[in-house]
Chains A and B, each alone.
Chain A
Amino acid sequence: MKVRTDNAAPARRPLALAVAAALLAAGTAHAEPMFQAPLYRGTDMSRYSDNFVEIGGGFNTQDSYKFGQWTGMTERGGYVLGNFNYSSRGAGDSPDYFWANGYNLGFDARDAALGYTSQGRFSVYGSYQGMPFYASDSTKFIFDGLGGTNLVARTSVIGATANPNAGTNPARINAALVPFDLDTQRDIWQVGGKLLFGGNFETYANYRQDNVDGNRLTYGAMFATGGNPRSNALALPVSETTHQFDAGLRWSTDKAQAQLTYWYSKYSPDASSLIWQNPFSIIAGWPAGSGYPNSYGQMSLDPGNTFNQITAQGAWNFMPGWRVNSSLQYSWGTQDAGYLAYYAPIGFAPGGGAIRNPATSSLDGKVDRWLFNIAVNGRPMPRLTLRAKYVYDDNNNKTAENFYRVVPGGLQQAAAPGVQNTPYGSYTVNRASVEADYQLLARTLLRGNYTYVNTKWVDEDRARTYDNIVGVELRQTASELFTGYLKYQYWNRSGSDFTWIAGAPPTPPYFLNNFVQNRVRAQADLGLSETVNLTLAADWSRRSYSEPSSGVDCGAQTGAWPDGNRCMGLQTSSWQTYTADLQWRPTEALSTFVFATYGDLSNDQFGRQINQGINNQNALWTASLAQKSNTYGLGTNYNVATKIDVGATYIYNEGRTNTGLTWGPALAALVPAPLAVPPSTYTLHSFQLYGKWAVTKTLTLRANWWYQKLNAFDYAYDGVNPWASDRTIFAGQNSGGYTNNFYGISIAYTGF
């Protein structure tokens, strides 16, 4: 009789057997990660031992922010590979153990955690995770002070005109550009613990702190209202902290459970604004003295806020086969950061007379929400399962409404009494749903469900929406030969009249508008043989927005072209994905997979041009946006011998975003005439070859080659020089194509 009950090095049983055992124990659902963990994740030592320490090195062949966007592998050169895992859990006779682990220690995306557990009594833990995000390494700006909150335009930008692409200004801008990489680093620290007491009680508490530092891309506009706006790219400094605390008390018995939880969040930015010097010289329409160097723009950064949420939940198995659960949640959030002044306090005397500051020094914003639900699940007959649920969701933005003498672009304040703020985000939802499952055959289920949602909107463009959702489903379960489902859902939204904007074509916001949606989903898992499994999956949906039933005649707006009787805005939204996935395990030592997925997310919309002296049905235009993607994967893992694993994975992903435009004759006559927009495309090739060799009982060597190539073109960035517009100075970044190889080798020790 052989048994291993601790974390010591495994008994010397054949490795192939151990591997197969681990795989089979895991079940086919996750016999092997579909994608080999990236190289920096290090050796998957779970097959060998729980405890290990791994050290090694890798070499990245090219600089590329995009290759290492989320990991930090952005520069050519060497990287340390470091991972460890330790648990002192003993032979099962002690409930007390200490654990610690660390992964990717040589990268920005490193994480580490440790904890102590007295199982059945209490546990405590602490952890750290780094989360970098490299946004661009090709951005350039025309400012000094980059990385700070006060950006000063470089004098060489200034020309005789505020048109960036006129005369010698492109050269001036080019000479002034300062390369500045954009990236942020999020550091997440967490501590927490839980305590079990009284047999049925558990209490827990967690604290999490996110620190984010770095820079993002933004733009700043000068004199954006009143005509002749100008804008330029800016590096937006990010320095913020979010504190989150959650705690709860749980009670559980065989028949009933309850818990009371609390969540607190506090967002604290270090800075409240970004100030930049207007780099443009004065143009017609701007106040005297408002060109460089006398005027500044000031942008507010996200203000600090706090949020609290208390939730009580309970569940009760009130009779065999029947369960009721219910919850009541109350949330409240506040935001009371001090207002910025209307102008940056530097040098600019605005037009429009005396500036009135806001009536209050801060918003005193408040939002609260009540959420209640109750659900009953039961089985009145052996073949029949019923579910019913009611939800009440009431969200109130209680922020005060006032008039603000806004000065949108720093040009002229709004006429008295000013512009009134609207505290959007208030709604009341009543949702009721019922569902019935009937067991047609031993393994065949027929399901039907219906949901009704009545939403009362406050301050929105319509006061009510009504959603009716009906679904039917046929599901085959628990069969080695075939499992799968076929679902159909019909969703209809209607509502009250819209409040339209005077003088504009009726354009109902799509998130409030009437629509009819049909969705079909199907999936089949086919056990073709004992070693081959094929999965086919499809998801097709189409949502068609329609003219509201009353309150407007959109047909009068659009006429017969191109498809009469439609309002403006989004007309249809559809998506579809299809997947074929084959897994083949001819032997316990060899596993392979191959898959292909096609995806398409499409939107069709109407617009009508009503400026440039045109305001008729011949100025209609349409845009059809389609995001298409193809993803293919192929991989294998082979236990060559008792001590060696090898594997390879190849992933191909391509994306294509098409923008199809059509326009009426009034627009065709414009100069310049409309032209097609080219597609934005990218292709990703990712190949990994890896191997592990158990050199000795306690030493494992791992080698890995990772090749990745990205080709990308986006018309919004590639080929767009900073001076390419007559009113905006761009950052000039590119899409970040790359070809990278990463070679790594590491050794892991498991003898503890």
Chain B
Amino acid sequence: MRKLWRGVASALVASALAMFVAAGAQAQGAAAPAKDLVLRGDAKCTKCHDQDDNPALLDISRTKHGVKADARTPTCTSCHGESESHINKPAGAAERPKPDRTFKRNDTHTTPAAQSEACTSCHKGGHLIQWAGSAHERTQTSCSSCHSVHVAKDQVLVRATQAGVCYTCHKDVRAQTFAVSAHPIRQGVMSCSSCHAPHGSLSERFSLVKSSVNDTCYTCHAGKRGPFLWPHPPVVEDCGNCHNPHGTNIAPMLNARSPYLCQQCHIIGQHPNVLRSGNALPSNTVGNLGNANTAYLVGQACANCHTKVHGSNHPSGNAFTR
């Protein structure tokens, strides 16, 4: 009997001790501060948001914004705001309020300007120095309309996938890039940002990477810069006078076909004023042998002789034949 009581007492003591230890441990666990997981100061967020979150918010650790050793990197609240009501759901609230600032295209909770302010509070200079007043800022395109901050590979920063982001709005350009003559955007060899500066630039039109259309084209086609001994006025003014760089039905990305393109300005003496019609086509002549007009209509038409239409540096090149 004594053994029994001793056993019961021991069990009670042990149980009490275990309960005490457990309670202590529980109390200790409740009191321990939460640890940051991927960003400095993210604990108040990551106590709820974990790897299985949808979307995967913690994947920000795989981005430049997740490099804690860089003192400039933000924490969750740097962008989303302190979000007190989101963290501590108000009593009686049916749903947990959203964070102070959310990022989503067509977001009804946070205006595009407020979304962008979260980014421009740090990203002010460099490429962003012309952001205020730029085409995208004026159209209330927020940074997060194009950029994905929480994924390791931001599609708009990858040449092969960037255009797909731009086509979200620029749908006419998407179709133009399928034209039979176009810059290799759909092949992923070039991207929209090869020519365009989406954050604003010094160019007055099209938000180009350089301060004029021609300077932008010369980044790849530097041979056309000249100055030439015999320059061609529409060329030195704007490559776009004859070309549409997104693509057209007529190679090389021409707005109209020669000879008619040339005859939009050149109705002068000798051959430029002559109507070049289908009678010049070899298919309309006996034996497909053409006639005196054929050379002006087919092949490169005017450029069958005037090959140096971008300008000539030959002392005899005033007619762009040399």
A318 contacts the other chain (CB 8 A): no
Interface size grouping (class) on chain B: 35 or more
B-chain residues with CB within 8 Å of residue A297 when the two chains form the complex = 322
List the one stretch of B10-18, B20-28, B276-284 in contact with chain A. B276-284
The interface residues of chain B lying within 8 Å CB-to-CB of A202 are 125-126
B279 touches A120 (CB 8 A): no
Which residues of B lie under 8 Å from residue A4 when comparing CB positions?
51, 58-59, 61
Q: Pick the contact of A425: B133, B219, B237, B256 (CB < 8 A).
A: B237
Smallest distance from the beta carbon of B110 to chain A beta carbons, Å? 8
Known contacts A25-B150, A210-B220; is-contact A1 B255 (Cβ 8 Å): no
Within 8 A of B (CB), among A84-126: 89, 91-95, 103, 109, 119-120
Contacts known (A250-B125, A313-B129, A579-B171); A675 close to B202, Cβ less than 8 A: no
CB proximity of B118 to chain A, nearest CB, Å: 14
- Return 21 A-B CB contacts under 8 Å, by A number: A22-B56, A26-B148, A29-B168, A30-B164, A38-B188, A109-B189, A120-B72, A202-B126, A254-B124, A269-B223, A300-B312, A303-B313, A315-B130, A365-B227, A431-B204, A608-B273, A610-B273, A623-B275, A627-B248, A684-B180, A726-B294
- The reply to whether A367 and B257 contact each other, CB–CB distance below 8 Å, is no
Segment of B1-9, B80-88, B90-98, B262-270 in the binding face = B262-270
Specify which chain A residues have a CB less than 8 angstroms from the CB of B264 in the assembled complex. Answer: 510, 569-570, 603, 605
Q: A244-B219, A377-B133 are in contact. Are A339 and B126 (CB under 8 A)?
A: no
A282 within 8 Å of B (CB atoms): no
Q: Indicate if A730 sits at the interface (CB-CB under 8 A).
A: yes
B79 adjacent to chain A (CB < 8 Å):
no
B322: chain A residues at CB < 8 Å are 297-300, 340, 408
Contacts of B72 in A (CB 8 A): 120
Docked Cα-Cα span, A297 to B307, in Å, equals 13
Structural contact, B124 and A252, CB atoms closer than 8 A: yes
Which A-chain residue is minimally distant from B234 (CB atoms)?
A: A511
Asked if residues B267 and A505 are in contact (CB atoms below 8 Å), the reply is yes
For chain B residues 232-278, which have a beta carbon within 8 Å of chain A? 232-234, 236-238, 241, 244, 248-250, 255-257, 260, 263-271, 273-275, 277-278
**Is there an interface contact between B274 and A609, defined as CB atoms closer than 8 Å?**
yes
Say yes or no for A523: interface residue by CB 8 A criterion: yes
> Does A50 lie at the interface of the complex (its beta carbon under 8 Å from any beta carbon of B)?
yes
B298 at the interface (CB under 8 A from A): yes
A27 within 8 A of B: yes
Smallest Cβ-Cβ distance to B275: which chain A residue: A621
Going nearest first, the 7 A-B pairs with the smallest beta carbon separation are A302-B223, A252-B125, A675-B278, A425-B236, A25-B55, A33-B164, A70-B184
With a cutoff of 8 Å between Cβ atoms, the chain B residues found around residue A595 in the complex are: 171, 174
Encode contact with B along A230-259: 1 for CB under 8 Å, 0 otherwise. Answer: 010100000010101000001110100111
Of the candidates A309, A389, A607, A655, the one whose C-beta lies within 8 Å of that of B133 is: A389
Closest A residue to B284 by CB, please name it. A675
Query: Which residues of A, 598-613, contact B by the 8 Å Cβ criterion?
Result: 599, 601, 603, 605-612
Interface residues on chain A, size class: 35 or more
Would you call B78 an interface residue if the criterion is a C-beta within 8 Å of the partner chain's C-beta atoms?
Answer: no
Chain B residue, CB-CB nearest to A236: B307
Is B130 a contact partner of A391 (Cβ separation < 8 A)? no
Most buried by B among A314, A329, A365: A365
With contacts A25-B148, A119-B70 known, is A220 near B125, CB below 8 A? no
Decide: A478 and B107 in contact? CB cutoff 8 A: yes
Residues of B with C-beta under 8 A to A674: 275, 277-279
Given A257-B129, A307-B225, do A676 and B295 touch, yes or no (CB 8 Å)?
Answer: no
- Residues of chain A within 8 A (CB-CB) of B313 are 300, 302-303, 335, 337, 339-340, 363
The yes or no answer to B206 lying at the interface (CB within 8 A) is: no
Interface residues of B in 96-135 (CB under 8 A from A): 103-108, 110-112, 121, 124-126, 129-130, 132-133
**Selected interface stretch from A221-229, A283-291, A639-647, A742-750:** A221-229
Q: Which single residue of chain A is at the shortest CB-CB distance from B319?
A: A408
Residue A568 lies at the interface, judged by CB distance under 8 Å to chain B: yes
For the complex, give the distance between the alpha carbons of A666 and B315 in Å: 39
Residues of B within 8 A of A405 (CB): 315
Contacts of A244 in B (CB 8 A): 219
Which residues of B10-49 are within 8 A (CB) of A? Answer: 37-39, 46
Contact between chains at B175 and A17 (CB < 8 Å):
no
Q: Is B224 an interface residue (CB 8 A)?
A: yes
